[in-house]
Amino acid sequence: MRILLSLCRLLALTLVVNVEVYASEVSDVFTAKAVKLSPYQQRDFQDEIFYFVLPDRFYNGDKSNDLGAAANDTKRALSRGGFDKTNKGMYHGGDLAGLTEKLPYLDNMGITAIWLTPVLRNQAVQNGSSGYHGYWIVDFSEIDPHLGTNAALKNLIDKAHKRNIKVFFDIITNHTADVIKYKECHSSDGLTWLLEGKNCPFKSLAQLAQGDTYIPFIPKGSENLKTPAWLNSVDVYHNQGDSNWVGESAIRGDFAGLDDVDTNSEQVVKGMIDIYKAIIDEFKPDGFRIDTVKHVNMAFWQSFSPALIAHAKTQGIDNFFMYGEVYSFEPKLLSPFTVEGKLQSVLDFALQGALQQTLVEQKGTDVLAKLFAQDYLYQTSHHDIENTNANQLVNFTGNHDMGRFAYALKESQHNYSESEQIQRNLLAHALLYFSRGVPVIYYGDEQGFVGDGGDQASRQDMMPSKVVSYNDDDLLATDKSTAVDNFDMSHVFYQTFAKYAQLYQQYPALRFGQQTTLYSQDKPGVFAIQRVYSWQGKTQKLVIVFNTAKQAKNLDMITDKSAIKLLYKSTLSTAVDNVDSNIDSNVDDNSIIEPLSFVIYNLK
C-alpha cells in the first residue's frame, strides 16, 4: 500500500480536479475509428510503428526468382543459387513481390513503417550458407535477384506509400561480402584455410608498423565482382584480419571474414555517401536503418549522416530518418552515436535488456526507472541535423540476431506456463508501444513465433516452412506450427498489437509525450510513468501504470481522489495461472492493475 500512497502523492502534486470514470468511455477506445495518420511525407518519425522483416522468410510472391540470377546471366553468376527450403541457412524464396502482396496484413495491424533487411545484391553462397539475410553485399546499385528487381522494390515502395506506410532500408557501410583473402590464411583460390581454427588473427596497427602485415589478394576470377568498381581495390579495406570484437579490432577487424572497409579514408567516406545518395535518388526510401554502426569510426558517421539527410531533402524527402544498430546495452555506449556521431537515433538495446531483466528474469521495475533516468544522455541539438532525444529511440523486444523475446521467456529458469509466457510477451510489447521511443514488431512475433535461439534459429518462415527445427516449435497462443501459413489476423498477439497501435495513434502523448517516472520498486510490481505533450494550445497528460508482478496491484488513488480518468485497461488475454488475484472486492475495479497487465489513465 505504501507504493500506492507514494504514487498518489506524486499524482496529487501534478493535478487536481474531480473526474469520474465512465465505463462507456473506456469501451469507446475499442470502437474508435482508426485514427487518420498524417501523410507519410509529413509524418514524424515518432508517429511510426515499425515492422522488421526478412523478405526471404516472409512470403514467396514470385517463384521464378527463387534461384536468384538467371542461369545465363554471367555478370551475376555469384548471385545465383543457395536455395534450399529445408535448410535454415539458405534462401527460402520469399521476395519483394510477396511482401507487396501482404501489405494489407501489415496495414490491418497498424504498421506504419517497414524495415527490410538489406536488399542489395549479395554473394549467394559464402562459407557454406547463403546471403538470404542480405548482409553480404557485392553490388550496391541493384536489388538481389532472389528478392526481385529494382522495379519490384519501387513497386513495393509505391504500394506501401499508397497505404501511407513508409519503407526503410537496412544499409551497410562497414563491410562487403567476403571476397578478399589473405596469403597467410587462405589458399590462392581462396577456398582453403591455411590456418587452424578458420580464423585470421587480428593484426594491430602497432604490428603493421613493425611490418607484420597480411598480404590481401582477390582470388582469380573475382577481380571485378563488386559494384561500384572502386570497391574492387584491396586498398580501400583495413586488411588486418578477423575482429576479436575488442579495442582497435572492433573498428578495423573483419566481421568473420567480411571485407572490412577502410572507413577512415576520405575516399571511402565519399564513396559510401555517393552509394547511398544514389539509392535515395533511385528508390526514394523514407529512411535507413544502419548496420554494424559501432564497428565504424565515429568521424565517418559525423560526415555520413548530415550529408545523406541534406541530400534526401533535395529529393523532397524532408523527414528522412536514420537509426543505427549499436549492439551495446548501456545508454552511455549508445548515446555517443547520436550526440557525437550525428545519427538521429539508435536501436535501444538498453531497453531490450531492461525488458528482459524485468519480465524474463523478474528483477524489480527500478531497472526500467534507472534506464529511463539516463535518457538525458541522448539530448542534443546539432546545426546540421534535427535535434535528437530519447523519444526518437527505436524500441524492440528481440531481433534476428539475439533471438525473440518469446524464446527468452521459454528458456527462463522460472519455467513459465504458456499462458504466463503469453502475458509477459504482451506486457513487454505494451512497454514498447507506450514508453518513450518508437516501437518495432519483429516479424512473426505477432503470430506467436518462439524459435530455438538467435541468428538462423530466429528467422522462421511466415509462409509454410520446410525447416524441421522451425516446425517442431510450439508457437504461443495457437495450435498452428510454422509448417503452415502464418498470416492469421485473428491471432491474439496480432489483435493485441493492432489494439496497441490504435491507442498509440489515438493519444499523441503516447508518441510525443515527455516521460517521467512516477513510481518503481526494487521487485516485480508497479512501474508508473507520466507522459505529457502539448500541441496547438492543448495539453495531454497520461499516466501509464504497468504491473510486472504475478499479483494484482491496487491503486486506490482512483477511488479516493478521482483525479484521473481510466482510458484503457489491458485484459488478461488468457488466464494467467499461478497468480494471486487476492483483491479486496470492495475496491473500485478501475483502480486494480491485473497481474502482468497495464492501465492507461488520463490526468486532468
- The residues annotated as belonging to the active site are 291, 325
Q: With residue 565 as reference, give the H or E element that holds it.
A: strand 564-569
Residue 86 CB, nearest distance to Ca ion (Å)? 14
Q: Which is nearer to Ca ion, 295 or 569 (CB)?
A: 295
Residue in the structure block whose three cell numbers are 496529487: 12
Q: Which is nearer to Ca ion, 450 or 518 (CB)?
A: 450
Pick from 501, 497, 494, 590: nearest CA to 545? 590
Contact between residue 451 and residue 397 where contact means Cβ atoms under 8 Å apart: no
* Helix (H/G/I), strand (E/B), else coil: 491: coil
Residue 521 CB, nearest distance to Ca ion (Å)? 36
- Cβ-count burial of 455 within 10 angstroms (0-12 exposed, 13-18 middle, 19+ buried)? middle
Quick one: how far is CA 274 from the chain centroid?
26
Pick from 349, 359, 463: nearest CA to 398? 349
**Longest distance between any two alpha carbons in the chain, whole Å:** 81
Residue 309 CB, nearest distance to Ca ion (Å)? 22
Residue 148 CB, nearest distance to Ca ion (Å)? 8
Q: Name the residues that contact Ca ion, by CB under 5 A.
A: 60, 62, 65-66, 93, 95, 174, 178, 180, 257, 259-260, 295, 452, 469, 472-473
Contact between residue 440 and residue 392 where contact means Cβ atoms under 8 Å apart: no
Contact between residue 338 and residue 328 where contact means Cβ atoms under 8 Å apart: no
**Residues 6 or more apart in contact with residue 13 via CB below 8 angstroms:** none
Residue 534 main-chain phi, psi, to 5 deg: -120, 135
Measured CA to CA, the distance from residue 215 to residue 392 in angstroms comes to 44
Pairing, β 514-519 against β 113-116: unpaired
Residue 597 CB, nearest distance to Ca ion (Å)? 30
Q: Which is nearer to Ca ion, 47 or 178 (CB)?
A: 178
Contact between residue 220 and residue 189 where contact means Cβ atoms under 8 Å apart: yes
Pick from 433, 403, 455, 424: nearest CA to 511? 433
Residue 468 CB, nearest distance to Ca ion (Å)? 8
